[in-house]
Amino acid sequence: MPVDLSGTWKLDSSENFEEFMKKLEVNMALRKMGALAKPTTEITQTGDHFVIKTSTTFKNTAVEFDIGQEFDEKTADDKEVKSVATWDGDKLVVTQKRGPPIGDVLYIRELQGDDALLLTCTAGDVVCKRHYKKGK
């Protein structure tokens, strides 16, 4: 049985997000909004089926996918990409195929105890950690 990541998660703190957004070639105006944003992510997991909705004051995104099956994603910076999710033990790994020059971008979600979720975002040599706490 996979771990259950379901819940409403609110961003508590973030490390290296500005560098991560720069690596993704996000423009300065959007980077400023992104840096200030405190997203809420709602994860609904049914076994290997996921719906992940992320909302901020300036942008909402939603993806729905099954583990191992490629899906279409519209990113927070308005890029249309193909993505695929896999399990790495109890970690949910979403690989976003951004294409050259950025390449694959990884979003790895893992539970930390009962009420915290760590999102590690990796693009090339840039690693960003986003610490989420369980909300209502």
Binding site for ligand DKA (CB under 6 A): 21, 24, 26, 30, 34, 39, 41, 54, 76-77, 119, 121, 130
Amino acid identity, position 120: T
Task: Decide whether 41 or 122 has the Cβ nearer to ligand DKA.
Answer: 41
Output the smallest distance, CB 95 to ligand DKA, in A: 14
Q: Which residues contact 118 (CB under 8 A, 6 or more apart)?
A: 109, 110, 112, 129, 130, 131, 132
What are the E-state strand segments in the chain? 7-15, 40-46, 49-55, 60-66, 71-74, 80-88, 91-97, 104-111, 116-123, 126-134
Task: Decide whether 30 or 126 has the Cβ nearer to ligand DKA.
Answer: 30
Round to whole Å and give the CA distance between 110 and 9.
Answer: 12
Task: Decide whether 30 or 127 has the Cβ nearer to ligand DKA.
Answer: 30
Task: Decide whether 54 or 95 has the Cβ nearer to ligand DKA.
Answer: 54
Output the smallest distance, CB 1 to ligand DKA, in A: 25
Output the smallest distance, CB 132 to ligand DKA, in A: 8
Please name the residue ranges forming H helices in 1-136: 17-23, 28-36
Output the smallest distance, CB 38 to ligand DKA, in A: 10
